[in-house]
Amino acid sequence: MVLALERKINIFDKRLKRREWHLGQAKPIFRLKGQTHGIFGFGNMGRAVAKKAQAFGFNVIATDPFVSLMEARKFGVELVDFNRLLEISDATSIHAPLLKATYHVFNEEAISKMKDTAYLVNVARGGLVHQKALYNAVKCKKIAGAALDVMEREPPELDEALLTLDNVIITPHAVYYSQTSHIEVRKRALEEVVRVLKGGQPKNWINCKGMSEKR
């Protein structure tokens, strides 16, 4: 999604299909090498994205209150606070859970701190981004564009304003999907069931604290 936004693939595709052949219609386009990729939530997914971004020449920074400076350095990533992430990132991708503390964390105030050439990518949960604030920012060119695999309402309403913008990419909660992952998700669920039936403990608790107290 970051590559598609940065290289204006979505814009070129739409306009070429309207028989518009012109490089200038999508300027400016910047070289990836040397840009800064900001990661909001530096867990397993954020770390996997960091490796991919670094391969394309991005400098990678991250913000995560549960990760230490030393841990981030192991991945060649600079840990910064949220405001710093917003201010210097050329592309920001979101990989955090939806909690009370993260609900609409990318709101009007936060988005206003981003560069006007920056992109925002959400592949976590729709509620982390205030969609109206994002629409206004992209529409008014306060940021350059966005890509969303998740939205607050799925599927979105037919009159969802973000669907009208050329420089916004929206996919149907599909970026996790591959034939391999489709099988792997089901395999892991069955392994959890077997593990518990054999008297073991599940690896992926949802209510671990509650169950411990109950027992």
Query: CA triplet 53, 137, 116: central angle to 5 degrees?
Result: 55
The CATH 3.40.50.720 domain(s) of the chain lie at: 2-170
> Does 2-170 carry CATH code 3.10.105.10?
no
Sheet holding 145-148, edge to edge: 78-79, 59-63, 36-40, 91-94, 119-122, 145-148, 168-170
The answer to whether the CB of 111 falls within 8 A of the CB of 131 is no
Q: In angstroms, rounded to a whole number, what is the distance separating the alpha carbons of residues 56 and 198? A: 46
> Residue 138 pLDDT > 60, yes or no?
yes
Cα-based distances in Å from 32 to 14, 23, 103, 156: 22, 18, 30, 31
Neighbour-count burial of 201, counting CB atoms closer than 10 A to its CB (0-12 exposed, 13-18 middle, 19+ buried): exposed
Active site residues: 125, 154, 173
**pLDDT, tens only, 152-208:** 999 999 999 999 999 999 999 999 899 999 899 999 999 999 999 999 998 878 777
**pLDDT, tens only, 75-119:** 999 999 999 999 999 999 999 999 999 999 999 999 999 999 999
Instruction: Find the mean pLDDT for residues 12-27.
Output: 88
- DSSP structural state of residue 6: H
**pLDDT, tens only, 140-165:** 999 999 999 999 999 999 999 999 99
Cα-based distances in Å from 22 to 17, 141, 144: 12, 21, 19
- pTM value is 0.89
